[in-house]
Chains A and B, each alone.
Chain A
Amino acid sequence: MGSLIQQIINGLSLGSVYALIAVGYSLVYSVLLFSNFAHGGFLVIGGYICYYALLKGGANIWVASLAALIGSGLSAVAVERMAYKPIRERTSVTLYMLIASMGMSIVIENIFVVTIGGRFRALPPVIPMRTVNILGVASTSASDLLSLAAAVVFLVGLQLFLSKTKWGLAIRAASYNLRIAGLMGVNVNMLISLVFFVAGLLAAIGGIFLSARYSLYPQLGVITTKAFVAAVIGGLGSLPGAVVGSLILGLAEMLAAGFLSSQFRDLIVFGLLIITLIVRPTGLFGKSVGEKV
């Protein structure tokens, strides 16, 4: 019983990190209808900014995280301006943006390899890793609980932003029909930049927790494959779907690791993806993409 609760907590914690990344994927997808495979790059950028702010800048974790969030958000905006905007202004075929995003993913990864090297780095111990006992039935690391709490705070914050503010409303409208949102007087380029900024910011939080838990290296962004799978299971373009999909995936992975073998983790992840694609291709909360000119 204790180990079940333990695995559930671990699963939720892992799922919450996936959720931060998956929500960014879904947000971009819902507005521009393509999967941004450079998303993992934003996570790595956030991780490195945090690392250098802590180590070279002498900042505390709060300042370093803030710098990472903003830096990653701005890089996401820059990637959009450089790689995607020229494409979407010329054609409505979103496949080209998908291909460009694969290219940008390689570019970002290799910028880090070339400039600071591909070796693994460990964040200074700024995020508490000590073991926390939960009501005597399970124990987990403080960082897991922190990542869960951070994910809840930011996801609730995102939900409030989307439901209560003018630009949040505009993003929801644009995720239904970007062109018509433009006809309502919304500056579409500004809206897309905002969406990328938010996506980059959320990815950076995931990046900080992942590099604290494991280590930081230029290919850390590969983990976004899992978040992408979670977004697909939840239904690409749906934010609640991304969160639910992430939690399902985190739980499935940790329960598999705990009760079967940790070698089954990826098998379970991709098994769930395949089942979803066969049974419900649009995902749990997916919107069917109909006409969109």
Chain B
Amino acid sequence: MNIPAELKYVDTHEWVRMEGDIAVVGITDFAQDQLGDVTFVELPAVGDMVEENKEMGSVESVKAASDLFSPVSGEVIEVNPMLENQPEILNSAPYTDGWMIKVKISAQPSILISADEYKNVISA
């Protein structure tokens, strides 16, 4: 299971990459593997406010529909346009092409955990 050390995580299986006060958000390799082939992704729109640990969208796969939880609070400034027509990139490249949204954070994130801590979450 790929868990890049330079990223931060939340135990609801989203990852975050901080670029200044911008947070890039996606789902982990573990999450995409558990979901199986992703068929549809529903994300917030640019301008929407997301809140830490609150629902921000959903992912549907051949197995299940799962809620997405925002790891940070702030305003959505960009949404990955590729996910609308090519949801399969979530399976093939969850940490790169499969990023979901960019958020201009409005508060210091408080629930993020390290790659090692996330490793413990998924092996529990």
Verify that A and B bind, or say they do not. Answer: no
B-contacting residues of A (Cβ < 8 Å)? Answer: none
Residues of B bordering A, CB below 8 Å: none
